[in-house]
Structure 1
Amino acid sequence: MKIMDKLQASLEKIMGPIAQKLSESKILSAFTAGMMHTMPISLGVAGFAILASLPIEPWQNFLTSTGIGQNMLDIVAATSSLMALFIAPAIAYFYAKNEEENGLIASLLATASFLALQPVRIIVGESSVSGLLQENLGSKGIFIAMITSMVVSFSYCKLIKKNFKLKLPESVPPNVSESLSPTFVSMIIFFGVFVVRWLASLTPAGDIFTLFNSTIALPIMGVGATPLASILVLTFATLCWFFGIHPAPIMNIYYPVIIVANTANLEAYLAGTPSSQLPYLAVALVSSFCYIGGQGNTLALSFLLFKAKSERYRALRKVAVIPNIFNINEPMIFGMPVMLNAYFFIPMISTVLFGGAYGWFVVNLLHVGDAFNPTIALPWVMPSFIGPFLTGGWRLGIATILALFIQIFIWYPFFRMADNQALKEESESQTFFTMADNQALKEGLESQS
């Protein structure tokens, strides 16, 4: 226990202040809220993605002959594969809202600035046509959208607070005054956009999107969007969670990499790339084997509660198992508790590592993800052993269930030790109260005599 206490103290000393700063950061808060609030878009079209991809030949023939299938896929392409276009205004809105400024104006300025940076001439053969590249509005534009929205909303809020406003007479209606007052601010912002666009055009890349993705985004994705990086990040987040440091700040930093990888898979899939050749297939699938039932893979542990002998764990399963099936594992983390419980440190960390290694094996060597459909977005509360059947077919589903059994096997000996200890404590407590009752009864009889 002394080793655990020292490890906890060291981790809290290092990560505690960092996690506190990250949780209080208005910038990170805006990033997180903005990206999370774009999820209804992908979830809203998930039904079309599922229906358009059902591997039933008569159904597929019907979709093709009526044109319904193509329209379903077009809706998915116009929403889930254009995430950068939705992320830009969402992040700007929440940052301005955190600064108690007009979030709508900030989001409009951010969206307009993001679009103003886009190349508007597309080379087709020896000629060019007017248009915007879909990839710049999707995976290749997400990092630019994040940066643009943050710079624009930050500049907007700072300049407004510095009173760079168009002064209008009091007789002007408030709604008109509010819409015209940021005129000077918007001029300054768009001048900055012009400078960035012009400077990028002077480089061999020709535009800011090509320049950024070839010099900065490519190395980030090359390092971060790998199965190993995903496993290490999830392992570190789980380690923090064990010691009571919420993993959200760590995962929020990594979340943009996941969004870019998922969007790139979606774009490639809609362009006709087979599932087995998706650019980030392994990243999308391997991480799912490290996160069954929530951070720390507690779903396996919650199922073991049905083997509990102690009253404590029998009572806990009545309130913890069902939420954990839907990836809500706080009752397990705090109620069992898993956090700071020496019995559970090894299985909590090792299930992430073994899950990642197992996922890497089944994806790369057994090719269980060859039927993976990245157009299907599922809510985070979808049970971990059901979702893979919908997104990757029966092979991925079976592989996930086998991963769950492996995690149950890892958790079992440690759970048995914890359950026996709880049973022992309950027995000692019962013995103590029985002795106390007998003593009280004896004293009562003696007093009566």
Structure 2
Amino acid sequence: MNFFDRLQNGMDKIIAPIASKMNDSKIIQALASGMMATMPISIGVAAICILVSLPIPGWSEVITKLGISYVGNEIMQVTLSGLAIYLVINVAYNYASGEGENGMTAATIALGIFLMMMPVFIRGKGYFLQAIESKYIGSEGIFVGMVISILSSVVYCKLCKKNIKLKLPDSVPPMVTNSLSPIFIAMIMFTVMAVVKYLFFISPYGNLFNFFNTIIAAPIMKFGATPGALIAVYTFACIMWFFGVHPSPIISTYAVVLTSASTANIEAYAAGQPLPYFGLMVMYLCVYFSGTGNTLGLSLCTLKAKSERYKSMKAITLIPNLFNINEPVVFGFPVMLNPIFFIPMILCTLIPGLLGWAVTSLFTFHFNPSIALPWVTPTFVTAFMQGGVPYLLLIIACIAVTTLIWFPFFRMADNQAYLEEQEGNKND
């Protein structure tokens, strides 16, 4: 038994069951679906963000004078910087719907609890306001929102299954029944959370958000929102992908950290402050610019193919991979479980990640975190829109480096295929 056979058997025994449980987890599925469901918000306001933030000399002065900048920043404040609200609604809805319960009711209760837990009286020296601070619906509310949406929807579904509902006659219209039947469940949940809110109010933290962000979220962000953690997570995802385990559960779990970091950057950008996670978000495209494993370089290698097998792969893989779809590469070459491609699969995430880390440690450039484009947008387009020419050059360098890493291994596979084809022609 060779090294790859032993490695695969070990992965099948240890990693595969864990990955399978993650894949089947309704909580992971709800988180992934909930985050995907916020895409209409981030992409829907992309044009506005670009308009407000165009790095053209004199443009900022013009739109500020016309009031466009003011309106655009307000829009970003309640969309991109208010992402926690949309996540709470969508995660709770997806979880409850997956359990066969009323998703809208679960989402409404989750949102109500999320807002209820926020402090709404702001006291200061000489002033007293009644308002919700924007930070609680932004970067400081995302982790709390995730926890509240999952816990509230889990409790809601369990209480529904215990049939704790208001019984109404069949003659009552279904719309009324659906609205009133969970009223006892809502009363129980809001009462319990009111007690929780009070306990946090009398604690040294003052509210749930301060407690959570101090005790839980801060350590997670301290270690998780680092360049090393980003590289490690996506390298591990590549290993899983090589062995046929889809990386989406791993990436979806880590996406909570990336979303918090991105939202914090947007808030800082809108306030004219330095981006707290500049390096991390710039590096994100370096480790994930054409799907897990950065396989665009491998697709580009097909332009130099000798064998008919890999010449035919050119039309199948290159165009999809330009648009960040790499399943045709992973399954078509195949890369998955192909010993020749194991080493470059790992290196093509690790090396660009280290390159991005080095560049962002040595240099800074204008980066607009509020610009969000569809995930199928070619990475070099996204890089140029977010960071202009410097970011574009960094991504081009990453593509070039990964192409050089893939090429000798591709050449080995291509030569094998070519020799097999030649032998087949002789036999014919």
Whether the TM-score (by the shorter chain) exceeds 0.5 is: yes
How far the C-alpha of 1:69 sits from its partner, in A, is: 2.3
- 1:191-230 aligned within 5 A: 191-230=191-230
Deviations 1:239-276 (A, max 9, x none): 11011111111111111111111111111111111xxx
Deviations 1:162-187 (A, max 9, x none): 11111223332221122111111000
Contact 1:48 1:73 in 2 (8 A): no
Aligned match of 2:355: 358
Aligned partner letter, 1:77: Q
Contact 1:81 1:139 in 2 (8 A): yes
Aligned match of 1:11: 11
How far the C-alpha of 1:153 sits from its partner, in A, is: 1.0
Aligned match of 1:117: 117
* Alpha-carbon distance in structure 2 between the residues aligned to 1:357 and 1:171: 66
How far the C-alpha of 1:202 sits from its partner, in A, is: 1.8
* Alpha-carbon distance in structure 2 between the residues aligned to 1:187 and 1:93: 19
- 1:264-343 aligned within 5 A: 264-273=264-273, 277-343=274-340
* Alpha-carbon distance in structure 1 between the residues aligned to 2:97 and 2:188: 21
Assess, with a 3 A threshold, how the Cα gap between structure 1 residues 20 and 67 changes in structure 2: closer, same or farther.
same
* Alpha-carbon distance in structure 2 between the residues aligned to 1:295 and 1:402: 18
Tell me the TM-score normalised to structure 1 length: 0.93
Deviations 1:221-245 (A, max 9, x none): 0010100000000000001101111
Aligned partner letter, 1:313: Y
Query: Once structures 1 and 2 are overlaid, which stretch shifts more, 105-114 or 408-417?
Result: 408-417
Aligned match of 2:373: 378
Deviations 1:361-403 (A, max 9, x none): 1111132xx2000110111111122211100111111111011
Consecutive unaligned residues of structure 1, counting only runs of 5 or more, are: 434-449
* Alpha-carbon distance in structure 2 between the residues aligned to 1:260 and 1:396: 22
**Is residue 2:389 matched to residue 1:394?**
yes
- 1:53-202 aligned within 5 A: 53-202=53-202
Consecutive unaligned residues of structure 2, counting only runs of 5 or more, are: none
Tell me the TM-score normalised to structure 2 length: 0.98
Aligned match of 1:403: 398
Q: Secondary structure at the match of 2:404?
A: helix
Aligned match of 1:439: none
Q: Secondary structure at the match of 1:378?
A: coil
Contact 1:312 1:422 in 2 (8 A): yes
Aligned partner letter, 1:325: L
Aligned partner letter, 2:207: D
What is the number of equivalent residue pairs in this alignment? 428
Aligned partner letter, 1:324: N
**Pair member with larger Rg:** 1
Give % identity. Answer: 48
* Alpha-carbon distance in structure 2 between the residues aligned to 1:39 and 1:405: 30
Deviations 1:105-133 (A, max 9, x none): 11000000100000011123333210001
Contact 1:385 1:397 in 2 (8 A): yes
* Alpha-carbon distance in structure 2 between the residues aligned to 1:167 and 1:398: 65
* Alpha-carbon distance in structure 1 between the residues aligned to 2:133 and 2:251: 30
* Alpha-carbon distance in structure 2 between the residues aligned to 1:415 and 1:335: 13
How far the C-alpha of 1:58 sits from its partner, in A, is: 4.3
Query: Once structures 1 and 2 are overlaid, which stretch shifts more, 53-62 or 423-432?
Result: 53-62
